[in-house]
Chains A and B, each alone.
Chain A
């Protein structure tokens, strides 16, 4: 059985790879890449908060949410408002409040909405996301379309995380802790209950799983994770406006879950990192390869087209996501290589060599 020990070892390998990334990034001159690896990795890590929770909800419990940008936003606005209104307010407490309030919102929305199933649930969460977005944009306390500026940098125990590199370590250490918690949950009776109700709610009920409560708890937990990510996002960007919490972001989170791999622990990380880098890579392409249309630099206008295409391609060809897809691809390649080798050997043999 792939018990926790295997996943722990994988987590260590992944952590080592990620924490060494800033060193490797130094080896590549930034001007050659046209984007900043460390800066993008911070953003990827922040998105990973939301995606890890959403993967638990969508991939394991099978409950789709198209409104998680709202929880991300609630986390961000809560700490932003607290820390800008009251200069004395500690940022770490703001982040904690942000996550807490996102969780409360998740509970209040989750209880009625989770009675719905499938498409209906998706539409209800989508509506919640839109309502929240309009609230962020229209309300006075959130600063309307301008948003909130001059958010203080995150600091804790007198140490200020005011550079990309410092924030990189803060975010990714937190991500690793969340990963550890999630791995533990998934491989426990709770994880089994979630997967069971995903497969058949009636059968899970009949086995003594309180499906309603499990769904609500998974929803709240994913809201807390998203809220935590949003709160750190506010302190990283130092300003926020409603555009960062639109439907596009909810779809981005879901796309990250799908292309990383629904119900795959590592899928959340793979999805968050690859989809954070992909637009930047495409934008940088004209600078790498001369002759490509310069218009690619304005790629952001078409980013939704990309998400849509990716979702379609992955649902058709790699429904289990990139993580499993890549592993399959590698073993397929190995098989083909072995077959080729056998054929060459057979030919040599028949020639009597």
Chain B
């Protein structure tokens, strides 16, 4: 499995004023793996995602995606290269239907502009028809097709989370960055989610997941990276990390001692 990494993060540091939100973080993500990033609140997990997706520029360090440096690229450029993310708090587009939300995810694969769409050129119409069909197919694969014409924000919470994931999938990414995908889900929905994530890996996707739900993390990840105060304090397979004394001290605490 350890061939070339798809995503290579080398000694990334991000300073906010004097505070280091990330300190020399290095990690490699290999094709087809599910990697989880865990750590207490404020450990820098979301900041790392923001650096990877171009929202923040790191103070130092480099990030390579398929051997290409992506530091300094705009968020939309990074997305169109094949790295897409979801958000910790749901950010569906207000007033847009489930289908329209999903179709925004196809933005990268379409190119017709104001004029072509204004006069409904043949190219624009074909594009529209094609991505509508593709979006419906993606919705079907997650079981949201019956809701296609409802407003996205009117769905129940669990389905809104699912829609955010669907919207990201519609862009056909190589790497999916999920920021707390299980937040607010009930145990049944969390279980469904983990099945779904396994399914994605089977389809060849690589997943980088920030998550607080330890059950889910232990269940799905091939490797876990633990962040604390912006530094990587442990990494390895779930069992190894689970028993690492530093991790227990920093994060897992009493609960895991009980389990162990």
Contact = CB atoms under 8 A, between A and B. Distances in A.
A188 B124 contact: yes
B104 A204 contact: yes
Chain B, interface size category, equals 35 or more
A200 B93 contact: yes
A334 interface: no
A241 interface: no
Contact of B75 (A188, A192, A206, A217): A206
B76 A210 contact: yes
A266 to B, nearest CB: 16
Given A1-B99, A206-B85, A209-B104, A189 B128 contact: yes
A181 interface: yes
Interface in B87-108: 87, 91-97, 99-100, 103-108
Contact of A208 (B76, B113, B114, B117): B76
Nearest to B120: A184
A184 B117 contact: yes
B80 interface: yes
A36 interface: no
A137 interface: no
Given A195-B93, A208-B171, A209-B107, A190 B117 contact: yes
Query: Which of A195, A207, A209, A217 has most B Cβ within 10 Å?
Result: A207
A203 to B, nearest CB: 4
B5 to A, nearest CB: 22
B157 interface: no
B84 A193 contact: no
Contacts of A10: none
B57 to A, nearest CB: 14
A207 B114 contact: no
A205 B74 contact: yes
B110 interface: yes
B107 A189 contact: yes
A217 B116 CA distance: 13
Given A203-B87, A208-B80, A189 B112 contact: yes
Nearest to A181: B118
A192 B103 contact: yes
B219 to A, nearest CB: 26
A207 B104 contact: yes
A206 B84 contact: yes
B128 A207 contact: no
Query: Which of B94, B113, B118 has most A Cβ within 10 Å?
Result: B118
A188 B85 contact: no
Main secondary structure on A side of the interface with B: helix
A174 to B, nearest CB: 14
A204 B55 CA distance: 12
B14 interface: no
A185 B118 contact: yes
B167 A207 contact: yes
Interface in A190-218: 190-193, 195-196, 198-200, 202-212, 217
Contacts of B55: 202, 205
A221 interface: yes
B206 interface: no
Contact of B127 (A181, A189, A196): A189
A321 to B, nearest CB: 14
B96 A199 contact: yes
A195 B110 CA distance: 17
Nearest to A186: B117
Contact of A189 (B75, B87, B117): B117
B117 A188 contact: yes
B119 interface: yes
A1 B93 contact: no
Contacts of A203: 87, 91-93
Contacts of A206: 53, 75-76, 79, 84-85, 87
A226 to B, nearest CB: 16
B234 to A, nearest CB: 29
Contacts of B119: 181, 184
27 contacts: A181-B118, A188-B117, A189-B106, A189-B107, A189-B110, A189-B112, A189-B117, A192-B96, A192-B104, A193-B104, A195-B93, A196-B93, A196-B104, A199-B94, A199-B96, A200-B93, A202-B91, A203-B87, A203-B91, A205-B54, A205-B75, A208-B84, A209-B76, A209-B107, A212-B74, A221-B114, A263-B95
Given A202-B91, A205-B76, A209-B104, 19 more contacts: A182-B118, A184-B120, A188-B120, A189-B106, A189-B107, A189-B112, A189-B128, A189-B131, A193-B107, A195-B96, A196-B93, A199-B94, A200-B91, A200-B93, A205-B79, A206-B84, A207-B105, A208-B105, A211-B76
